[in-house]
Amino acid sequence: MNQIERPDQFDIDRIRKQISDATGVSEGKPAAPSKPLNPYAARIATQFALESKKPSIVAGFIRIGEGLLVAVTCASLYLAAPEAHVLSIPTMGLFALVAGLFATFLTQVFDGYLFPVLRAPRRGVPRVAGGLAISALLFCLIVLYRGGSAAALFSSAAIGVTVGICLLSLERVFVAYAIRRWSRNGFMERRAIIVGGGAPARELIREMESISDNDIRICGIFDDRADRRSPDMVAGYPKLGTFDELVEFARTARIDILIIALPLSAEARLLELLRKLWVLPVDIRIAAHSSKLRFRPRAYSRIGKVSMLDVFDKPIADWDSVAKRAFDIIFSLVAIVLLWPIMLGAALAVKFTSRGPIIFKQKRHGFNNEVVEIYKFRSMYTEMSDPTAKLAVTKNDPRVTPVGRFIRKASIDELPQFFNVLQGRLSLVGPRPHAVAAQTQDRIYAEVVDTYFARHRVKPGVTGWAQINGWRGEIDSDEKIRGRIAADLYYIENWSLWLDFKILILTPIRLLKTDNAY
């Protein structure tokens, strides 16, 4: 890592590249394990163990609800005027939905979905009412253009719009009450950790606290320094531990954003710190509030008026995560409906050819390095099974039953994992979950690849980019685990729903090549 000599040389794009190079899949000393939390930090972390609802998701559902309400209003005023019926029901429904979308767009243009507005019904109701009125008027003009009766239509429109505005007003009052309540009890917030203490952290905290309607909750401060430059209490927030404890705290407390309050001139220290934090599924920002440097606008994000340099974003966040979850549920249900005869046949074959349970359960690493239990059809003799997976299955392994050898070769043993997907433990597509104690050549995977745990920034999957690119089956060498991790990290950095769909389509085709599956 090359340390810069002058602060005005700081280049966020170069920093990202250096971090990316440093966190690539390579051989080297293993990353230090996260340090156990001190009792005080552990107690604080447990208070934030439940995941909060993200403001962007809440605002999105409010948009959907109000758009549908406008659509229902338009459809109702049309149905209430028989003389104006010149559209088929499907066509009318389509126009009503378009009116709902247009109303949502107008409300967005009027800043009706900003959280200060959502918290204040007096500010929000006129904006959403205006969107409803304009959209309903355009809907009526379309019906009139198609030959509907103006008198009947506008008579019902007056009543329909009035009722719609009353309903939207009640909805906005309820939303304001709910948001204030959720904000107080922590149900809806973004949880932040300040990385680095002392004067920079104090200045940053004061600037963030000056922001009205701030959805950020600062959970504490972490700093390696233990001298007067970094006191135990900064601006009313406690210092909870060192940087080595930060990773464990962020996982336990469901942290959303890490804000680094270190001077930009300390590039070497920043790079080393970011290399540790990169494995976490969080947004990572460098506070630029005290810097006199000026960057290109695209390098910044802002929390209120506080400028932040974006270093890493949480992968598959907000509405992407909603879309991926819907994708998982829909395609899992389809797979279960289509494949249940194969699953039933495999279950009966396992049951009647060897003693023991049909389903084999195993602890594996899941999202955010949490331990999850996955289901598979049992493929080994019960007395020889190895839940820890310390000893990998090899070719002609005597522990594998004859039926087990076939279902493993054809990946039929993996089919019960569709139920793990419906439970939310797995995703359909993602890095394949490894057993907690899985190893190669007497070394656990994290000792072979120092960025191993970065693959846990997203949910593990039933299939993945690594599996369709030749990294399926036995891992008996360092090269194989490095190849698999490289493929997993590629998937995380390049995720899209199209990529998930592509992997699903290619999986059964690539399963025909089963040389490495025993």
pLDDT value at residue 417: 93
Q: Which CATH number is 7-52+189-312's, of 3.40.50.300, 3.20.20.220, 1.20.80.30, 3.40.50.720? A: 3.40.50.720
Q: Which residues of 245-261 are buried (b: 16+ CB within 10 A; e: fewer)?
A: bbbbbbbbbbbbbbbbb
Q: Tens digit of pLDDT for each residue in 167-202? A: 999 999 998 888 888 877 767 778 889 888 778 888
Work out the pLDDT band at 5, boundaries 50, 70, 90: very low
Q: Tens digit of pLDDT for each residue in 426-450? A: 999 999 888 776 666 666 776 677 7
pLDDT value at residue 20: 56
**What ranges do the domains of the chain cover?**
7-52+189-312, 55-185, 319-510
| Nearest alpha carbon to residue 279 among 300, 298, 258 | 258
Please give the mean pLDDT across all residues of the chain.
80
| Nearest alpha carbon to residue 165 among 144, 120, 139, 135 | 135
Work out the pLDDT band at 476, boundaries 50, 70, 90: low
What's the whole-model pTM score? 0.77
Q: What SS3 state is found at 212?
A: coil
Residue 421 has pLDDT above 90, yes or no: yes
Work out the pLDDT band at 342, boundaries 50, 70, 90: very high
Work out the pLDDT band at 3, boundaries 50, 70, 90: very low
pLDDT value at residue 12: 55
pLDDT value at residue 502: 93
pLDDT value at residue 331: 93
Residue 481 has pLDDT above 50, yes or no: yes
pLDDT value at residue 8: 42
pLDDT value at residue 270: 79
Average pLDDT over residues 261-271: 74
Q: What SS3 state is found at 359?
A: strand
Do the Cβ atoms of 446 and 454 come closer than 8 Å? Answer: no
- For residue 55, what are its two tokens? 């403001």
- For residue 398, what are its two tokens? 């005597």
Q: What residues contact 141, with CB distance under 8 A and at least 6 apart?
A: none
Higher per-residue pLDDT: 223 or 52 = 223
Work out the pLDDT band at 216, boundaries 50, 70, 90: confident
In the block, tokens 């490894």 appear at 434
Lowest-confidence pick of 389-403, 409-423, 440-454: 440-454
Q: What residues contact 264, with CB distance under 8 A and at least 6 apart?
A: 7, 10, 270, 286, 288, 291, 293
SS (H, E, C) 400-465: ECHHHHHHHHCCHHHCCHHHHHHHCCCEEECCCCCECCCEECCEEHHHHCCCHHHHHHCCCEEECC
Burial status of residue 151 (CB atoms within 10 A of its CB: 0-12, 13-18, 19 or more): exposed
What is the DSSP-derived secondary structure letter of residue 139? H
Work out the pLDDT band at 368, boundaries 50, 70, 90: confident
Residue 75 has pLDDT above 70, yes or no: yes
**One-letter identity of residue 149:** S
Work out the pLDDT band at 212, boundaries 50, 70, 90: low
Q: Tens digit of pLDDT for each residue in 14-73? A: 555 555 554 454 444 545 555 677 888 888 888 887 777 777 788 888 999 999 999 998
Average pLDDT over residues 246-257: 86
SS (H, E, C) 100-114: HHHHHHHHHHCCCCC
Lowest-confidence pick of 16-25, 71-80, 484-493: 16-25
- On the CB side of 437, CA atoms within 13 Å amount to 9
Lowest-confidence pick of 111-115, 148-152, 398-402, 460-464: 148-152
Do the Cβ atoms of 314 and 301 come closer than 8 Å? Answer: no
**CA gyration radius for the chain?**
28
Average pLDDT over residues 270-288: 83
Higher per-residue pLDDT: 255 or 385 = 255
pLDDT value at residue 419: 94
